[in-house]
Structure 1
Amino acid sequence: MSRHRFTAALVAASAVAATAAPVAASTPPARGELLSARHLRTMTAAQARAWLASDGFDARSVRYGVDTYRLVYRTVDTRGRATTASGLLVLPRNGDHRLRTVSYTHGTMSYKPDAPSTSKDVWGQGSAVTYGAAGFATVAPDYLGLGEGPGVHPWKDVPSETTASVDMLRAARHFVPRKGRSLDRRVLVTGFSQGASSALGLARALQGGADPWFRLGAVAPISGGYDFRGAELPALLAGKLDPKLSVAYTSYLLTSWNRIHGGLYRTPGEVFRKPYAGRVEKYFDGTTPGQVMLKGLPGSLDKLLTRRGFALLRHPSGTFAAALRTDASVCGWTPRVPVRLYKIDKDEQAVTLNTDHCAADLRGRGVRVPVIDVGDTRYGGSRHLGSNVAGTAQVVRWFSGLGRS
């Protein structure tokens, strides 16, 4: 992503704990239980068109005004312990009582307030509003540790992104009857960048019966980093991706996965050079704005990583290798619904080979997978971010053409 948008695609908060704080309860709380719902804003169709267009989003699919809400709900953390999370719900201002349902999972961000339900800019909510204004009830989870969720965000952890997404759907289903409406049980699943893997994780879970009500309807992820070991890390180490953002992604990956899985390092100085070893974990604890983080990190991996840090990336082993296998497994299943993969050529952040490998995995399982190039689109100078804008415009048209359940 472009440097000025890392936090928008990679929320002010006080110091947060190193892991999501458990919710005290005498009996196990119900996952997806709605704890609070706050109305954020109302836009007419004309206002939604102008708002989206002000930041380069395609507003041609806008048919209705929207209401947006922040939901806070119960879920579980990376260790299965009770915690809470937040997310954005967008409802169209139309006459439909039963609303077709879209789940949109967002791209990488490291600063708590940048999450969809707490974002103040168009980027953070633009895709969700696009789907909502086209007539869909749109659910956009913040994931763990972002928005109003406690703790530190476990970046690139598909299992927790999946549980947070399933539970956000449940919370939305609890909420919409208050507005005299209901959600279609078939979910159309999409997401961008980090959220592309999250979308595949959610789709796999829904098809597998993770929720007794919701069913999978279709899947359309955009520009995912699906294969870090086989595609992303080799491109990053070869200098084929944006160097500054490669530094940011590497820092985020190592600090996050060491926190989640352990075994990557005992002290930051083992893998990060001075002076970055003393500050890098703070940059990704949710309290540091992205511009501050980017300014504080070096411009190249040579200045960031120690010899051991490079060896870890070049020859993954142990818990790191196991985590990479889990991350790549999002393409190792057999969808029984329509699937499309969206990409952009010459992606400077999520190398396009990620999508090629994912498509090959799915086709190897007998799944017909059209791979759609979104075209030469940029956002803030970034092709990667541009693929979200262009991909959202294309996915909403595809979803709109699919029949109801």
Structure 2
Amino acid sequence: MDMNSNASNSPRKHRARRLLAAATVVVLAALGTVPATAATRPMTGHDTASATAGRHEARGTLLSVTPVARLGRAEAAAFISGAGMSADTVRHGVRAYRLSYATITPQGRPTTATGLLVLPEGGSHRLDLVSDTHGTMAHRDYAPSVGEDFGRYAPYLHASAGRAVAAPDYLGLGQGPGRHPYMDTDSAVSASLDMLRASRTASRHLGRPLTGDVYASGFSQGGQVAMALGKALQDGADRHFRLRALAPVSGPYDIEHAETPALFDGRVNDTSGLFYMTYFLTAQNRLHPLWKDPSEAFREPYAGIVDDLFDTHHYEEQIIPALPATLKELLTDDYYRKLQHPTGALLAAVRAQDGTCAWKPAVPVRLYTSSGDTDVPIANARSCAADLAKRGVQAPVIDQGETGHNETYLTSGPQIVRWFDRLAARG
């Protein structure tokens, strides 16, 4: 299913990571004054989007800017190296801001979302933009604009190299309202696109206008989102943005043929598979009703608790112990068989998220993955590469070897920065 930046870690590792973040993130300092227009009234994020009915703001309208962090160059390097990543691409300090902006729900109704905008201190006046889309997060406070650990490694990595970074929280995470529609590709793309628009406005008001060039990357769930967002940009979703490159990491590009079968043959570890599939089923049931009563899918006593566990207010340390050890223990016999051979609404929900690689990018693409990943098996990247090859695009699958899921990003992230540097230098 989708692949999360947190679920495969033990609670002990999770607590250690938060302690690491607390030790390496500098105490928030005065970050300068946000222009009055940014703080006191909505700002239109793009000229071409149509306004929603009545009093609702146009999609991508920037609603607020809140400074959340400032790290000098040495502090940024310490934060990145403390995560286990190479810091040799760090050239600048960074300033980070939480943006609130107008977007839409999966049903197309107006709502709001938040995200993290990170700008380098120094470097070019006009900045290229990296869209960084994050992996699975169950608790809203892990989202990039609120959390201070894994959700910020990639944004700080790219910004410290000299680019602006737009990192959406997605719907229902961070400080956005409602539940998170986990693995709903369409709404993840609309929230990410509107985050780009809000970032364009905020960057201009913060004195660092954007060039319009977008380098799209993302990890795990965000790798799949990055591919779909790239297609939207190439198809002309917003005339202000030009897609330059795609570098997703460990995305679940093929739930039907790669990810789901791996749940049953040992390629996905039990804890991660259980976590992701439960999250997926409960979220998708709200979008594409999969059952009339949860007892059709889940055994007791889990049928009565699974939906509430994924309400964005429970941590993984709370969710995982509340579930059994395996999917077979969680699901009814009928639903366990159905998951292996999906039909009807379940198959439709799966296929609605697949196909993000079934297009022809006109920009360079690299697919980062690892053969040792037991959250998102390498078969997903190979399936994506095959879809692209059918359309005449040769995208290398870069295998990081026998590394785990999170470690795949820690290895890939700096490599992606260097690749983006080379592409930018070509003009």
Q: Shift in Å at residue 201 of structure 1? A: 0.8
Q: Are 1:182 and 2:189 counterparts?
A: no
Identity among equivalent pairs (%): 45
Mean Cα deviation higher: 45-54 or 107-116 = 45-54
TM-score by length of 2: 0.87
User: What is the correspondence of 1:295-314 to structure 2 with a 5 Å cutoff?
Assistant: 295-314=321-340
- Counterpart of 1:353 (choices 366, 372, 379) is 379
Alignment partners' CA distance in 1, 2:100 and 2:85 = 27
Alignment partners' CA distance in 2, 1:319 and 1:209 = 31
Aligned residue for 1:35?
A: 63
CA contact (8 A) 2:370 2:377 kept: no
Structure 1: segments with no counterpart, 5+ residues = 9-22, 378-382
- The amino acid that maps onto 1:361 is D
Q: Secondary structure at the match of 1:140?
A: strand
Q: Shift in Å at residue 133 of structure 1? A: 0.3
Q: Secondary structure at the match of 2:320?
A: helix
Q: Secondary structure at the match of 1:369?
A: coil
CA contact (8 A) 1:6 1:109 kept: no
- Counterpart of 1:167 (choices 194, 208, 224) is 194
Q: Secondary structure at the match of 1:329?
A: coil
Aligned residue for 1:71?
A: 99
Alignment partners' CA distance in 2, 1:138 and 1:375 = 28
Q: Are 1:394 and 2:401 counterparts?
A: no
Aligned residue for 1:252?
A: 279
Alignment partners' CA distance in 2, 1:28 and 1:337 = 35
Q: Deviations over 1:25-66 (max 9, x none)?
A: 624421000011100111110011112222222211100000
Aligned residue for 1:13?
A: none
- Counterpart of 2:356 (choices 330, 336, 347) is 330
CA contact (8 A) 1:6 1:108 kept: no
- Counterpart of 2:259 (choices 232, 248, 252) is 232
Alignment partners' CA distance in 2, 1:403 and 1:239 = 41
Q: Secondary structure at the match of 2:355?
A: helix
- The amino acid that maps onto 2:381 is T
Q: Secondary structure at the match of 1:402?
A: helix
Q: Deviations over 1:92-133 (max 9, x none)?
A: 001421001100100001100000110032x12011100000
Alignment partners' CA distance in 2, 1:169 and 1:298 = 40
Aligned residue for 1:403?
A: 424
Q: Are 1:135 and 2:135 counterparts?
A: no
- The amino acid that maps onto 1:386 is E
- The amino acid that maps onto 1:79 is Q
Q: Secondary structure at the match of 1:299?
A: coil
Q: Shift in Å at residue 319 of structure 1? A: 2.3
Alignment partners' CA distance in 2, 1:102 and 1:224 = 17
- The amino acid that maps onto 2:287 is I
Number of aligned pairs? 384
Q: Shift in Å at residue 24 of structure 1? A: 9.8
Aligned residue for 2:84?
A: 56
- Counterpart of 1:26 (choices 42, 54, 59) is 54
Q: Shift in Å at residue 376 of structure 1? A: 4.0
Q: Shift in Å at residue 6 of structure 1? A: 8.0
Q: Secondary structure at the match of 1:255?
A: helix
Aligned residue for 1:283?
A: 309
Alignment partners' CA distance in 2, 1:50 and 1:275 = 45
* CA spacing shift, 1:391–1:399, aligned 2, 3 Å: same
Q: Shift in Å at residue 399 of structure 1? A: 0.5
* CA spacing shift, 1:6–1:75, aligned 2, 3 Å: farther
Mean Cα deviation higher: 306-315 or 28-37 = 306-315
Alignment partners' CA distance in 1, 2:14 and 2:198 = 29
Q: Shift in Å at residue 234 of structure 1? A: 0.6
- Counterpart of 1:294 (choices 312, 320, 324) is 320
CA contact (8 A) 1:272 1:306 kept: yes
Moved over 3 A (4+): 3-8
* CA spacing shift, 1:2–1:132, aligned 2, 3 Å: same
TM-score by length of 1: 0.92
